Amino acid sequence: MELNWSLKELYSSFECNEFKEDLNNLDELIENFITTTNNIIDSTDSPDKLLENFISMNIELKTLARKLGSMVHLTLSVDTKNSTALKYDDILSSKISNLAESEAKITKWIGNLKDLDKIIQGSRLLSDHNFFLKEKAENAKYMLSDKEEAIIAKMKNTGSDAWCKLKNVLTSGLMVDIKLHGENRQLPLSMIRNMAYEADSTIRRKAYEAEIKAYEKIHDGMAAAINGIKGEVITLCDIRGFSSPLDKTLFNSRMDRKILDSMLDAIKEYLPIFRKYLKRKGELLGHKNGLPFYDLFAPMGNADMTYTYEDGCKCVIDNFRTFSDDLADFAKNAMEKSWIDVLPKAGKVGGAFCSRLPHVGESRVLLNYGNAFSDVVTLSHELGHGYHGYCLNNESILNAHYPMPIAETASNFCETIVKKAAITTATKDEAFSILETEISDCTQVIVDIYSRFLFESELFKIRKERSLSVKDLNEIMI
Whole-angstrom Cα distance, residue 471 to residue 265?
30
Backbone phi, psi, residue 298, to 5°: -60, 130
pTM of the entire predicted model:
0.90
pLDDT of residue 100: 95
177 strand-pairing partners: 186
Residue pair 26/95 in contact by the 8 Å Cβ criterion: yes
Mutual orientation of helices 17-42 and 100-111 as an angle, nearest 10°?
Answer: 40
Whole-angstrom Cα distance, residue 325 to residue 322?
8
Tell me the pairing of strands 362-366 and 340-341: parallel
- Amino acid letter, 387: Y
Where on the phi/psi map is residue 308: left (φ > 0), alpha (ψ -120 to 50), or beta?
beta
| DSSP one-letter code for 372 | B
| DSSP one-letter code for 252 | H
- Helix or strand holding residue 247 (H, E): helix 245-252
* 177, 186, 195, 394, 443 from 208: Cα distances, Å: 11, 14, 8, 46, 19
DSSP 19-64: HHHHHHHHHHHHHHHHHHHHHHHH--S-HHHHHHHHHHHHHHHHHH
pLDDT tens, residue order, the chain (478 aa): 899 999 999 999 999 999 999 999 999 999 999 999 999 999 989 999 999 999 999 999 999 999 999 999 999 999 999 999 999 999 999 999 999 999 999 999 999 999 999 999 999 999 999 999 999 999 999 999 999 999 999 999 999 999 999 999 999 999 999 999 999 999 999 999 999 999 999 999 999 999 999 999 999 999 999 999 999 999 999 999 999 999 999 999 999 999 999 999 999 999 999 999 999 999 999 999 999 999 999 999 888 888 999 999 999 999 999 999 999 999 999 999 999 999 999 999 999 999 999 999 999 999 999 999 999 999 999 999 999 999 999 999 999 999 888 999 999 999 999 999 889 888 999 999 999 999 999 999 999 999 999 999 999 999 999 999 999 999 999 8
Q: Which of 208, 365, 189, 358 is nearest to 292 (CA)?
A: 208
Residue pair 186/213 in contact by the 8 Å Cβ criterion: no
Residue pair 381/373 in contact by the 8 Å Cβ criterion: no
Residue 336, number of CB atoms within 10 A of its CB: 12
Residue pair 204/149 in contact by the 8 Å Cβ criterion: no
- Provide the 3-class DSSP secondary structure of residue 171: helix
Residue 149, number of CB atoms within 10 A of its CB: 21
- Provide the 3-class DSSP secondary structure of residue 343: coil
- Helix or strand holding residue 385 (H, E): helix 373-391
Long-range contacts of residues 422-425, Cβ cutoff 8 Å, at least 24 apart: 422/315, 422/319, 422/373
Backbone phi, psi, residue 188, to 5°: -60, 150
Residue 286, number of CB atoms within 10 A of its CB: 8
Whole-angstrom Cα distance, residue 468 to residue 404?
28
- Residue 275 makes CB contacts below 8 A (sequence gap 6+) with none
pLDDT of residue 27: 98
Q: Which of 478, 423, 425 is nearest to 455 (CA)?
A: 478
Whole-angstrom Cα distance, residue 97 to residue 101?
9
Domains and CATH numbers, the chain: 17-143 (1.20.140), 309-425 (no CATH)
The torsion angle over the Cα atoms of residues 285, 289, 291 and 295, rounded to 10 degrees, is -50
* 88, 253, 339, 401, 411 from 406: Cα distances, Å: 31, 9, 23, 10, 10
Residue pair 384/328 in contact by the 8 Å Cβ criterion: no
Q: Which of 51, 62, 238, 228 is nearest to 142 (CA)?
A: 238
How far apart, in Å, do the first and last CA atoms of the chain sit? Answer: 42
Whole-angstrom Cα distance, residue 478 to residue 448?
12
